[in-house]
Amino acid sequence: MAGYPEQYPRTGFLLSLIGGILITVVSLLVVALVYALASELSALGYGGAATALVVAELMVGAVLGILIIYGAYQVRSRPASARIWGIGIIVLALVSIFVSSGGFYIGALLALIGGFLAYRWRPPAPSPTGWSPAPGAPPTWSPPPPSGPTPPLAGAAGKFCPYCGASNPAPARFCARCGAGFPG
């Protein structure tokens, strides 16, 4: 898988791939079943032309399934064209429903969802305002401002009461809490 782009519609690719495989395998299995039961079918009146028509439809269905697988790998290897191939997968899956029951409809349903997801997929924006921060960008987080009352500033601007320890403004002559007079 070396050389494939990093970003691609992963789910769309996987569902389309599984759907295409189911459509192909089921078509080929039913063809094998028709051939295995050829004598029984002809005994029931389903011989010759009728069987040949069913087999032809199933072979077309198998080809449609292979094309869906191819489209899935185009979505995987060239995500820029995922929109086009998504539509292609949807069309192929719809045709396979009418031609060969689309892998018991499950394969066609998976391919339809996968094609739709590939169609809807967009490559991530290359701008630094995208989902990942650019390397070297300043962190957006900053510490919150301190909440609640700011504690009284100690130091040259204030003085501590020698009796109760309360902090008072420097020019105070009496302690605001206990009323003790300050020396000096």
Q: Is 180 in the site for Zn ion (CB under 5 A)?
A: yes
Mark 52-91 with x for binding to Zn ion (rule: CB under 5 A) and - for no binding.
Answer: ----------------------------------------
Q: Which of 153, 163, 169, 181 binds Zn ion (CB under 5 A)?
A: 163
Q: Choose one: 16-24, 34-42, 115-123, 164-172; the region binding Zn ion (CB under 5 A).
A: 164-172
Determine the Cα–Cα distance for residues 95 and 55; give it in Å rounded to an integer: 16
State the nearest-atom distance from the C-beta of 155 to Zn ion, in Å: 18
CA nearest 68: which of 29, 115, 113, 109? Answer: 115
State the nearest-atom distance from the C-beta of 182 to Zn ion, in Å: 9
Q: Is 164 in the site for Zn ion (CB under 5 A)?
A: yes
Q: Which of 32, 56, 154, 178 binds Zn ion (CB under 5 A)?
A: 178
Mark 102-141 with x for binding to Zn ion (rule: CB under 5 A) and - for no binding.
Answer: ----------------------------------------
Q: Choose one: 46-54, 110-118, 129-137, 155-163; the region binding Zn ion (CB under 5 A).
A: 155-163
Q: In Å, what is the CA distance from 82 to each residue of 8, 112, 120, 121, 157? A: 8, 14, 8, 7, 70
As a whole number of Å, the end-to-end CA separation of the chain is 86
DSSP letter, residue 48: T
Chain centroid to Cα 166, Å, comes to: 61
Q: Is 176 in the site for Zn ion (CB under 5 A)?
A: no
Nearer to Zn ion, 105 or 182 (CB): 182
**H helices within 37-162, ranges in order?**
38-43, 49-77, 82-100, 106-120
CA nearest 10: which of 79, 80, 81? Answer: 79
Determine the Cα–Cα distance for residues 57 and 28; give it in Å rounded to an integer: 11
Q: Can you give the binding site for Zn ion, defined by CB under 5 A?
A: 161, 163-164, 166, 175, 177-178, 180
